[in-house]
Amino acid sequence: RAKSELKDFLHISDFDKATILKILEQAVEVKALLKSGERTYLPFKGKTMAMIFAKPSMRTRVSFESGFFLLGGHAIYLGPDDIQMGKREETRDVARVLSRYNDIIMARVFAHQDILDLAKHASVPVVNGLTDYNHPCQIMADVLTIIEHIGQLEGTKVVYIGDGNNVVHSWLLMASVIPFHFVCACPKGFEPDEKTVEKARQAGISKIEITNDPKEAVRGADVVYSDVWASMGQKEEAAHRRKVFQGFQVDGNLMKSAGSKAYFMHCLPAERGVEVTDEVIEAPNSIVFPQAENRMHAQNAIMLHLLGY
């Protein structure tokens, strides 16, 4: 299938630049409509969505559920104890049964293979709501936020400070589609997946830097971005990581090194006083709440695209 006609939303790099930009434009339009109080655009009327969560969530759960409802549909929350995908029942069975009740499936899982299997066996679109490997809806919302605050992603410098995790992988995959300057500053041994870095570099579209020097990395940044040091599923490593990640906290000094034009972004939830100080997250140039809000608008547009609107 053409990149604009894929059934599922699993990785940003599955799509071409035109499709990603089209989805983001639709997000801007539908956001304006919803913010105006308009409630007559109901493309999802008569449609249902199953939402599978193997991990906790606030933003993903509420933004998908509210967003799908505001556009006329009904979303069903299935928590970690409900489906137990792969444990109570095989993923391929879950995929085929849910496809018979629902028009679309959203899932947040541990192993990335689980979402690939789910998509393979589902006859309806599957949206990736985070895996251990990536978090594409987050980065779509982030880019929407950058467009709103800076005008466009193209040509900007985005500097991520912290663990080379799922969020970083989605930034790298975005960098293989839209040209910008992406820098990931992480402690030695916590670099992002090599194959993904290679894929982004091979695309030859963006400037990609992986470094262990946060202070140098942030110079001239348009965006300084941070995420938790221990992701879901790694919480038992949290104490060890706090030691290793010393020097990677985004604080007032680091933001000063970045320069006056730098916005601060964080996908949230944040551990204040750990990866970011309270001062930075509460500063006027912190755009973490517009960023969180945009999860809903970006995802609405992703679902509209997948459902053929």
Q: Which residues are catalytic?
A: 267
Beta strands at 126-128 and 104-108: parallel, antiparallel or unpaired: parallel
Tokens of 57: 């969530």
State the Cα–Cα distance between residues 148 and 142, nearest whole angstrom: 10
Q: What does 58 bind: ligand NVA, ligand CP, none (CB cut-off 5 to 8 Å by kind)?
A: ligand CP
Q: What does 169 bind: ligand NVA, ligand CP, none (CB cut-off 5 to 8 Å by kind)?
A: none
Among 91, 131, 134, 138, binds ligand CP (CB under 6 A): 138
The CB-of-19 to ligand CP minimum distance in angstroms stands at 22
232 binds ligand NVA (CB under 6 A): yes
Nearer to ligand CP, 111 or 232 (CB): 232
In the window 257-276, what residues touch ligand NVA (CB under 6 A)?
267
Cβ 104 vs Cβ 96: under 8 Å? no
In the window 18-77, what residues touch ligand CP (CB under 6 A)?
57-60
Q: What does 32 bind: ligand NVA, ligand CP, none (CB cut-off 5 to 8 Å by kind)?
A: none
**Those residues with Cβ within 8 angstroms of residue 25's Cβ, 6 or more apart along the chain or in another chain:** none
Nearer to ligand CP, 31 or 135 (CB): 135
Q: How many helices (H) and strands (E) does the chain have?
A: 12, 9
State the Cα–Cα distance between residues 12 and 31, nearest whole angstrom: 21
Output the CA–CA distances (angstroms, integers) from residue 42 to 33, 193, 284, 300, in the order listed.
Answer: 11, 40, 36, 12
Tokens of 16: 């071409």
Rounded to the nearest 5 percent, the helix, strand and coil shares of the chain are 45, 15, 40
Nearer to ligand CP, 12 or 130 (CB): 130
Q: What does 124 bind: ligand CP, ligand NVA, none (CB cut-off 5 to 8 Å by kind)?
A: none
The CB-of-228 to ligand NVA minimum distance in angstroms stands at 5
288 binds ligand NVA (CB under 6 A): no
State the amino acid at position 103 in one-letter form: D
Cβ 8 vs Cβ 303: under 8 Å? no
Site string for ligand NVA, 84-123 (x = CB under 6 A): ----------------------------------------
The CB-of-227 to ligand CP minimum distance in angstroms stands at 9
Burial class (CB within 10 angstroms; exposed 0-12, middle 13-18, buried 19+) of 68? buried
Tokens of 171: 């930034």
Nearer to ligand CP, 85 or 296 (CB): 296
Nearest partner of 101 among 44, 67, 50, judged by Cα: 50
Among 91, 156, 165, 226, binds ligand NVA (CB under 6 A): 165
167 binds ligand NVA (CB under 6 A): yes
Nearer to ligand CP, 59 or 157 (CB): 59
The CB-of-186 to ligand CP minimum distance in angstroms stands at 19
Nearer to ligand NVA, 41 or 77 (CB): 77
Does residue 187 sit in helix, strand or coil?
coil
Where does 98-222 show beta strands of DSSP type E? 104-108, 126-128, 157-161, 181-185, 207-211
In the window 229-258, what residues touch ligand CP (CB under 6 A)?
none
Nearest partner of 13 among 150, 195, 232, 148, judged by Cα: 195
Stretch that binds ligand NVA, among 1-9, 162-170, 217-225, 248-256 (CB under 6 A): 162-170
Binding residues for ligand CP, rule: CB under 6 A, are 57-60, 130, 138, 267-269
